[in-house]
């Protein structure tokens, strides 16, 4: 079970800063999640258009030196092949690419990346009835995921049927963004979950089981 530090986490420094990424790498996160945009031909770790952030080369270079993988959240489309070539140049142990743009997922996969479709954005503050309605609309009968390497799924959408369906097909499942201790403890013990994305990587690593079989 992998722990992905969402924008480096926010336990030590402000999320999305080089300090946060370096802290996540030092404490032993398995992946660092970076929001990637290209500004004047340079890849930056920036969540918002027009925003600023550290150079992606600095973050990914530090991750590669420590044997930490990348979780590349692609915020723009149109240069997927260039992005995959850029990331592969660092020799990361693994790199997952996530985006809600299905055409971008296809382009990233065609360029050789492990491209995952993001499902379930915009669920903050949404009631359970609407979550169920969205779940049916976004997934059923999982046609959007068929033939893909996997998906990044908002944690309120994750259920035993989905985990089992994806596990049988060898698909990667990244669950985002999980910060509550109870939710972290539970998800870190579910079969079929590849990685948990969290703002609290230190806490997630403390809660992750170190030995024994993982229950279903």
- At 183-207, the pLDDT tens digits run 999 999 999 999 999 999 999 999 9
Please state, rounded to an integer, the average pLDDT across all residues of the chain: 90
Residue 137 has pLDDT above 70, yes or no: no
Per-residue pLDDT, 184: 96
Q: How many Å apart are CA 131 and CA 206, to the nearest integer? A: 30
| Residues 139-189: tens digit of each pLDDT | 655 778 888 999 999 998 888 988 999 999 999 999 999 999 999 999 999
Among the residue ranges 88-92, 167-171, 207-211, the one predicted with the least confidence is 207-211
Per-residue pLDDT, 27: 94
CATH of domain 2-207: 3.20.20.190
Token code pair at residue 188 = 């870190």
Kindly give the residue spans of alpha helices, DSSP state H, lying in 67-159: 80-88, 102-110, 128-138
Helix (H, G, I), strand (E, B) or coil at 152: strand
Beta-carbon contacts of 43 under 8 Å, excluding residues fewer than 6 positions away, are: 36, 37, 55, 56, 57, 83, 86
Ranges of each domain in the chain: 2-207
pTM of the model: 0.90
Helix (H, G, I), strand (E, B) or coil at 6: strand
- The H-or-E segment that residue 154 falls in is strand 150-154
């Amino acid at each position: 079970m992998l722990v992905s530090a969402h924008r480096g986490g926010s336990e030590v420094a402000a999320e999305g800063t080089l300090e946060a990424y370096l802290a996540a790498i030092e404490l032993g996160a398995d992946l660092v999640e970076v929001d990637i945009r290209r500004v004047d031909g340079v890849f930056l770790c920036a969540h918002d258009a027009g925003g600023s952030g550290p150079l992606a080369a600095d973050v990914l270079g530090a991750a590669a030196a420590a044997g930490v993988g990348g979780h590349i959240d692609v915020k723009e489309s149109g240069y997927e092949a260039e992005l995959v070539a850029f990331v592969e140049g660092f020799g990361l142990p693994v790199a997952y690419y996530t985006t809600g743009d299905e055409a971008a997922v296809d382009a990233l996969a065609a360029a050789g990346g492990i491209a995952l479709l993001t499902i379930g954005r915009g669920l903050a503050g949404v009631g359970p009835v609407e979550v169920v309605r969205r779940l049916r609309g976004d997934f059923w009968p999982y046609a959007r995921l068929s033939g893909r390497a996997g998906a990044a799924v908002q944690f309120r959408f994750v259920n035993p049927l989905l985990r089992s369906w994806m596990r049988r097909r060898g698909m990667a499942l990244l669950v985002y963004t999980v910060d509550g201790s109870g939710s972290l403890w539970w998800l870190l013990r579910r079969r079929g979950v590849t990685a948990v994305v969290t703002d609290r990587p230190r806490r997630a690593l403390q809660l992750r089981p170190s030995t024994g079989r993982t229950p279903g």
